[in-house]
Amino acid sequence: MSAAPARIAFIGLGSMGLPMARNLVVAGHEVAGFDMRAEATARLAAHGGRAADSAAAALDGADIAILMVVNITQAEDALFTNGAIEGLSPGGVVIVMATCPPAAMAALAGRVEAAGYGFLDAPVSGGVVGAQAGSLTIMAAGRTDIFETAKPVLDRLGKKIFHVGTEAGQGSTAKAVNQLMCGAHIAVAAEAMALAERFGVDRQTMFEIVSGSAASSWMLLDRGPRMLEDEPHVTSAIDIFVKDLGIVVETGEGAQAPLPMARQALDLFRRVSAAGMGSLDDSQLIRAYRAPIATET
């Protein structure tokens, strides 16, 4: 790889991917982008990137391929359909930043390495706001030399860049640990506020008490006020945690890790989703505590 800014292929230009790719354009990188939705690809072009008409076309001649796709299958398809990965420059690196199960991430790393390229398992937290501001938290795992190669690029996307381990899968594990806490904390806040509600304790007062005590959490402070609304604006949907807590539980499965709190939280999110409310703001998990879907397992 040359000392010039890395040429980057960016696959997956959704609400996270597009602003991330744009930050790389602003930093002086040549960015070729591809998304299955042509209009998403076109938006990158409007911001100084190059619109590629396939993943293979985006990867062709790139030093680094970043994948911010929906799941591991999309990542695999983008890299291996029509031999796309073979277009990467010698010494090229693949960075998968989507939230995926650790075991699947490790398996994908194996395929990429067998093809002769470096691999970084590097999921993020910080949401759309962090993606736009270039202030994401990045949990990267992979060989130290690969991490060092990718570091200058990661620095353009995030503010806190952690090298959590040398084995692909450990980045995804760190992300799963993070999502376990986020999802379970939403469930705990919903359960607590619903209990206060049931006993006629003023919810606003209750929120004030717990948000200023040892009971507080980031999620309580963020989601709590929206739990007190009937139809809050959707900041992040119930179904996001149906997916993410599903990955958490799958992660534990492979290692016989007991995850009773996460399983219980997943059950609550699934129950609300199954009742047709999967696209509601995730603060509405509190509805799992109200009739008629409040039956306890």
Annotated active-site residue 175? The verdict is yes
- Per-residue x/- track, 145-184, a copy of itself (CB under 8 A): ---------------x-x-xx-x-xx--xx-xxxxxxx-x
Q: Is 297 exposed, middle or buried (0-12, 13-18, 19+ CB in 10 A)?
A: exposed
Q: How far apart are CA 95 and CA 144, in angstroms?
A: 14
Interface of this chain with a copy of itself, residues 242 to 271, rule: CB under 8 A: 248, 251-252, 255, 257-262, 264-265, 267-268
Nearer to a copy of itself, 153 or 268 (CB): 268
Exactly one of 2, 231, 292, 295 binds a copy of itself (CB under 8 A); that residue is 295
* Alpha-carbon distance values, 16 to 10, 114, 225, 254 (Å): 12, 29, 25, 29
Binding mask 179-218 for a copy of itself (x = CB under 8 A): xxxx-xx-xxx-xxxxxx-xxxxx--xx-xxx-xxxxxxx
Using only C-alpha atoms, what is the Rg of the chain?
A: 21
* Binding status of residue 85 toward a copy of itself by CB under 8 A: no
Closest distance to a copy of itself from the beta carbon of 248 (Å) = 8
C-alpha to C-alpha distance for 293 and 271, rounded to whole angstroms: 7
In the complex with a copy of itself, which residue's Cβ is closer, 26 or 201? 201
For the segment 5-44, give every residue that binds a copy of itself (CB under 8 A). Answer: none
- Mark residues 113-132: x for contact with a copy of itself by CB under 8 A, - for none: ------------xxx-----
Q: What are phi and psi of 271, to 5 degrees?
A: -65, -40
Amino acid at site 8 = I
Contacts for 288 with CB less than 8 Å, ≥ 6 apart: 190, 268, 269, 271, 272, 294
Tell me the catalytic residues: 175
